[in-house]
Amino acid sequence: MSDAPAGRQESHPARPDADRPGTRPADDDEVSVVAYPNGPFVVRGNFRITGPDGETIPQDRRTVALCRCGKSTLKPFCDGTHKIIGFRTEPEPPVR
Amino acid sequence: MTDTLTAPETLIADEAASAPARATAATVARGDVVDQYPMALPAARGPVSEALFAALRGETGTDAVLAAAVAGVAATDDLLRDEDLQLALFCAYELHHGGIAGVDERLEWDPELIRARTVVEDALEDLLRRTVTLPEAPEPTAEAVSAALFALAAEDSGPSLARFLSRKASLEQAREFLVHRTIYTLGEADPHSWAIPRLTGRAKAALVEIQSDEYGEGRPGRMHSAIFAVTVSAAGLSPAYGAYLDVVPAITLASVNTMTLFGLHRRLRGATVGHLAAFEMTSSIPNRMYGDGFRRLGFDADATWYFDEHVEADAVHEQIAGRDLAGGLVEAHPHLLEDVLFGAAACLAVDGWAGQHVLEAFTEGRTSLREPLAPAGTAA
């Protein structure tokens, strides 16, 4: 099965709050923080992470994931541990 | 064993050096730029690879390969573990990647070779589609697709090889583990990159964002393939691409061939996307264990950099891959949902079998390779 009709194109404005890459603002000073369900905060843009004394925490990549579950061994960065501990960002569905 | 291999060339240069200095493949240090050159043609493992290699060396016409491939596929009782067919497929694919030393580059698009390769590819795809169990299809939304992929990856019987590496593996076993990994990792990320021109919009931006990180964001010394060469070199192994092709078993090749099968076919772009998502989702936690294992064995921070890097990198990638790449693709093209799930399930199944092969050999105290390596510290 292929897409129909041929040559169809769809476009939609990239919401500033959209949880997607490719929406990095034209203004590079702007930072986007995306809260991924049951996972970390993913941060893009021109930012610097500092410790409590103001010293810069080395950051090796443009896009980083910040720990949200509190159990990462690489804090402030995410190391995937939220998956092991079953961390949830949404309330559990009611039990019926 | 390794001293009988004709090591292909690896060119290593210090990133800061103005002119790259040619070096043997003995050592790669942190930050080095690693250029790989075409691998040597390996030894044939049966009639199909024999027919293919004779054609690649120009000894016979390429039209003789098809009959061998048809007969090979008809005769095999387990294509995933068929040494002859997996090696032949790997080398047929290599014409599209790094090339093979002494082989006419025009053979990449030789119709007869493509025809023969297609016979093996169709059999592999058919086998995977028959063997792999797909999860129940989620709604075609980014959120539901991502959640379904994370759930599938979580079911993966997974990190038992990683656990063995972290706690028990001997130095020799750790070196064997690296040898299996060289086949993919010295060209890390390449098979999935084939999907870039086949995607658009949100999924394309997501794939490029992940792959850019894999390729060092413009810094060659940070390419994951180069960082891995540091680890390989620290273990006294050759970081030259394909140096260990003769000693890895079919199931290791099957794991890479599955990625390339998906990557080279636009038709299977959904499977490539699903494969990458599952790959990323089963990476950060095992890599932490691999790093622990190599630290336990006395490897330094430069040598474990590759694993440590992947703990952090893949915790980012798995989010982007699940929601933006796979989810974004399915939202725009809902008919690709099933292939996304197929690619993810195939990744988990095949890589699971490859890991199981190595783990079984290790726990039974035998080599996981076709021949044991020369011990560390002896002439390689």
Residue B248 · residue B279 · CB < 8 Å: no
CATH code for the structural domain at B142-363:
1.20.910.10
Structural tokens at position B39: 């691998």
Domains of chain B by residue range: 47-131, 142-363
pTM for the full model? 0.90
The pLDDT of B93-97, averaged and rounded, is 98
Average the pLDDT over each of B30-34, B138-142, B270-274, B292-296 and give the range with the smallest value.
B30-34
Amino acid B158: pLDDT: 57
Amino acid B251: pLDDT: 98
Residue B146: list chain A partners with CB under 8 A: 37
Q: Is A12 within a domain?
A: no
Beta pairing, strands B33-36 & A31-35: unpaired
Q: Is A47 within a domain?
A: yes
Q: Which residues of A lie closer than 8 Å to B, measured between beta carbons?
A: 1, 3, 10, 19-22, 36-40, 42, 60-65, 73-74, 77-81, 83-84
Residue B360 · residue B289 · CB < 8 Å: no
Nearest-by-Cβ selection for B319 from A1, A40, A79: A40
Q: Check CB contact under 8 Å for A36 and B213.
A: no
Q: What pLDDT digit, counting tens, does each position of B332-359 carry? A: 999 999 999 999 999 999 999 999 999 9
Angle at A66 between CA A60 and CA A72, to 5 degrees: 100
Q: What pLDDT digit, counting tens, does each position of B140-161 carry? A: 999 999 999 999 999 975 558 9
If one counts the domains in chain A, the total is: 1
> b or e along A43-78 (b: 16 or more beta carbons within 10 Å of the residue's beta carbon)?
bbeeeeeeeeeeeeeeeebbbbbbbbbeebebeebb
Chain B residue with CA closest to A19: the answer is B324
Say how far apart CA B370 and CA B43 lie, in whole Å: 12
Question: Which residue, A14, A20, A27, A26, is CA-closest to A63?
Answer: A20
Residue B352 · residue B154 · CB < 8 Å: no
Average the pLDDT over each of A15-24, B206-215, B371-380 and give the range with the smallest value.
A15-24
Angle at B225 between CA B215 and CA B14, to 5 degrees: 90
CATH code, domain carrying A49: 3.40.5.90
Structural tokens at position A41: 């905060």
Distances, alpha carbon B58 to alpha carbons A27, B218, B320, in Å: 56, 38, 45
Residue A74: list chain B partners with CB under 8 A: 311-312
Q: Mean pLDDT score of chain A, rounded to an integer? A: 82
Work out the number of other CB atoms within 10 angstroms of the CB of residue A88: 11
Structural domain boundaries enclosing A60: 20-90
Work out the number of other CB atoms within 10 angstroms of the CB of residue B331: 20
User: pLDDT category, A4, cuts 50, 70, 90?
Assistant: low
Q: Is A6 within a domain?
A: no
